Amino acid sequence: MIESISAITLATHDMGRAVRFYTMLGFEVTYGGETESFTSLRGGACYVNLTAQPAEKTWSWWGRVIFWVTDVDAIHACAVAAGERPLTEPRDAPWGERFFHITDPDGHELSFARPLQRAD
38 assigned to some structural domain: yes
What is the rounded CA–CA span in Å between residue 95 and residue 116? 9
Q: What angle do CA 113, 70, 101 make, to 5 degrees?
A: 25
pTM: 0.82
How much is the pLDDT for 119?
61
How much is the pLDDT for 60?
79
Q: What is the CATH number of the domain that holds 37?
A: 3.10.180.10
Checking if the pLDDT of 102 tops 60, the result is yes
59 assigned to some structural domain: no
How much is the pLDDT for 3?
65
Residue numbers of the domain that contains 13: 7-53+64-115
Look at phi and psi of residue 107 and say left if phi exceeds 0, alpha if psi is from -120 to 50, else beta: left
58 assigned to some structural domain: no
Domain count, the chain: 1
2 assigned to some structural domain: no
109 assigned to some structural domain: yes
